[in-house]
Amino acid sequence: MRFSTLNFAFLATLSSIFTVVAASDTTTCSSSKHCPEDKPCCSQFGICGTGAYCLGGCDIRYSYNLTACMPMPRMSTFQESFDSKDKVKEIELQSDYLGNSTEADWVYTGWVDYYDNSLLIQMPNHTTGTVVSSTKYLWYGKVGATLKTSHDGGVVTAFILFSDVQDEIDYEFVGYNLTNPQSNYYSQGILNYNNSRNSSVNNTFEYYHNYEMDWTEDKIEWYIDGEKVRTLNKNDTWNETSNRYDYPQTPSRIQFSLWPGGDSSNAKGTIEWAGGLINWDSEDIKKYGYYYAHIKEIYATAYDIPNDVKLDGNSTKESDYHAFLYNSTDGDASNVMLTTKKTWLGSDDATGFDPQNDDEDSSSNKAQETTITSVSGSSTITSVKTDSTKKTANVPAQNTAAAAQATAKSSTGTNTYDPSAGVGGFVQDSKSTDSGSSGSSSQGVANSLNESVISGIFASICLGILSFFM
């Protein structure tokens, strides 16, 4: 099909109008600007909204008020291997997740697939990559993963613990250096580049390694293949200026991510740390259409919670306290409570202070059918199954503090990724992996509604309009 200059001008004009409208409809939040009441929940990328914005990543510090964010589902000890297509399919199906963690263990933004007994996370040409996140929160415990990283300068793979107030414990892998994994930590999102330490292994792209983070109230220990490579003592993180410990201390989700640290729009320091500008014309992009990393196994051992934790509820049964909640926007460990409140929302317009999850017959919830699948001895609903009109969970999934700038932006170039063209038929060159094909790759919409998605939808509409004139 050939477009005339007039048609291109028409499309450009419509795009310009849409960009202005979209920009004007975005409400931002920060330490100096809290969210308004009609969009009360502040995502970790500084965007206000409702629905899924009030779930994972909702930052109490910059939301409209303390009750805007929903309670955080509590994680139990678990182990999971991504050794079947069905397990990856379960992740792909969570595009309408609204907080019922009994129905979903993982959500994601970006592109995931199954290949060679592993979860394949992908970063297609000129995209911001992929983030996979647990729906439940760990408050002290040992978490481990067996994975193979991506490679090439500017490409960053990460395995982290990340809290809604941006406490963070990391393993980060820069693609230009495949023998020195980096351990790192942050407290409430404050960047401190002195916190990073390198370790030594053989090639992280060609070989699977096991990475562990052992997190207690007093210290954090990092392990690789069973060998301790670093210890951080809480006492060594005291900050005399802020009069607090700059130590990760709040309930956190497990995350895996693949992102373009070397994107040209990033800060100079980020690009240099990532190994320079990313090569969007690399062998991987030419051959497969994307960069990739493998996640073979993930597990966590949940430790006992602090003895002095406060309770939000009347039940005497510990199992009823299935979620975490903050009682102050300070966001420290002393502000974390256990609650019996439900963690799920009744619609994508709901919020923490209006969750719309009490009366299934209410006018605000007519499109939703709720079934109670288990009730505790104190008549507290502990498990629900929700069937509603499909909605896109529209909050961007979080990434590391260092990655936030890169993942928050929309893509700046042409995305040549085309699942229907067979790009999902992945064949890997790295060792200990047989050739084969996978199912078709999918672009996840769980927890995402960014400018690139909106622009893509709008472009399709415009092309449809143009076809009418041609």
For residue 206, indicate whether it is catalytic: no
Q: State the catalytic residue, choosing from 80, 90, 92, 172.
A: 172
For residue 172, indicate whether it is catalytic: yes
403 to 123, 160, 167, 204, 310: CA distances (angstroms): 14, 12, 14, 20, 33
Q: State the catalytic residue, choosing from 90, 92, 103, 168.
A: 168
Give the catalytic positions in this structure.
168, 172
